[in-house]
Chain A
Amino acid sequence: MLDGGTEYDIIRDKFRALDVAFPSAREASIAFQSLSPDREPRRGGATKELHAAGSTLSVRWTAEEARILRVSVGSFLDHLALVLETMIEFGPPVAQ
């Protein structure tokens, strides 16, 4: 029987990453600033790092448990979708 430790060993220290392409660096930066402020809930040992480079928003996760990783990725995708919808409906960004 697999115990909790087995899953832990498989996943630990491995990261999952996601790149999201935006029409321009401006939109990527807006998404980055909208999505970064809220910290990941501390329980479960998941960390999430966001970076915006050019028109790409990159996310990298580390997690000690697959379950926690799934929750974190799932909620990030929900948040990202809401930001994108807001951009489509209330954008494009005004000239800086």
Chain B
Amino acid sequence: MTVVIGFEGSANKIGVGIVRDGEVLSNPRRTYITPPGQGFLPSETAKHHRSVILTVLREALQQAGLKPADIDCVAYTKGPGMGAPLVTVALVARTVAQLWGKPLLGVNHCIGHIEMGRLITHANNPTVLYVSGGNTQVIAYSERRYRIFGETLDIAVGNCLDRFARVIKISNDPSPGYNIEQMAKRGSKYVELPYTVKGMDVSFSGILSYIEEAAHKMLSSGQCTAEDLCFSLQETLFAMLVEITERAMAHCNSQEVLIVGGVGCNLRLQEMMGVMCKERGARLFATDERFCIDNGVMIAQAGWEMFRSGHVTELSDSWITQRYRTDEVEVTWRD
């Protein structure tokens, strides 16, 4: 049996999770929530993580019913993400690894999402749509790498949604994306927005500028409601994501789609992707907010795969990195 504890804190969530051979033993998490109209900044986010990380770690051990001696490996997020929060989490991971005499393992955050999704859904070799506040990528596995077939040319889809939420002062609790999703259900009028798919890639910054500019004018003149804008933005963004995912599937002859990342728990996105999959005779795999949104177990699970195939990270190589592409990691644990 191999037990791995994972530490994640690359953005505004801080989580510690424990897995034992594919079984999730615990996965506590906290979210740094900012007031409406405000995003989360690196130093404040790091401060938040610092104030709760030891409590979350204690919870993870208690809920799993384990002692430090039962753990085989300490995994943490090496990157990509925001520097200050990443350092905060890495400091604790390094320290406990040494106190407990366990090997340390730096994990790529994106690989964490993919391996978590594969574990929970049992998708075998899916085309992966990874959509979050910091990343938008269409990924497929080939010859020991998770290869990026398409990605955003500017901001991430979740960033586009979050920033739109700030413009019209939608609450960040529990998350701006969740609140947009609920409001969109009550929208009825479709406002046409730019649609920017460029080959395999997508671009969201132009759509954001357009809707930022138009929102207040349209709302104050009564042309449409905030709910209509939420609805229109979701439909446009998600249609673009479904299009590039379908193109990657056709390219790879894939019959499986796995959606991961925080935006992946949006049920409207899952529904639209499901329609496309049905038309192609493909299967859709998705997870709920426990595993879609950043969490400790995703790092533990990717760490478990890596550790079992012989990886460890020396302390001197355990520096964090804000940029770390998915395809930089050699996937030694898959055929």
Contact = CB atoms under 8 A, between A and B. Distances in A.
Given A37-B316, A38-B320, A87 B91 contact: no
Interface in B170-188: none
A41 B58 CA distance: 31
Interface residues of B, number: 26
Interface in B45-101: 50, 53-54, 57-58, 68-69, 83, 87-88, 90-92, 94-96, 98-101
A37 B101 contact: no
Interface string B314-335: 0111111000000000000000
B94 A33 contact: yes
Contact of A34 (B53, B91, B320): B91
Contacts of A33: 94, 98, 315-316
Given A78-B50, A83-B91, A90 B96 contact: yes
Nearest to A39: B319
Contact of A37 (B92, B99, B319): B319
A93 interface: yes
B316 A30 contact: no
Interface in A47-96: 78-79, 82-83, 85-87, 89-94, 96
A36 interface: yes
Given A37-B316, A90-B54, 15 more contacts: A30-B95, A31-B95, A33-B98, A36-B316, A37-B90, A37-B315, A37-B317, A79-B87, A82-B50, A82-B88, A82-B91, A83-B91, A90-B68, A90-B99, A93-B99
Contact of A87 (B95, B316, B318): B95
A70 B318 CA distance: 25
Interface SS, A side: helix
B77 to A, nearest CB: 13
A35 B316 contact: no
A23 to B, nearest CB: 13
Interface of B: 50, 53-54, 57-58, 68-69, 83, 87-88, 90-92, 94-96, 98-101, 315-320
Nearest to B93: A34
Nearest to A33: B315
B91 A79 contact: yes
A33 to B, nearest CB: 4
A58 B319 CA distance: 20
Contacts of A30: 95, 98-99
Contacts of A31: 95
Contacts of A94: 69, 99-101
B87 A38 contact: yes
26 contacts: A30-B99, A33-B315, A34-B91, A34-B94, A34-B95, A34-B315, A35-B91, A37-B315, A37-B316, A37-B319, A38-B90, A82-B50, A82-B53, A83-B95, A85-B54, A86-B91, A86-B95, A86-B96, A89-B54, A90-B54, A90-B95, A90-B96, A90-B99, A93-B99, A93-B101, A94-B99
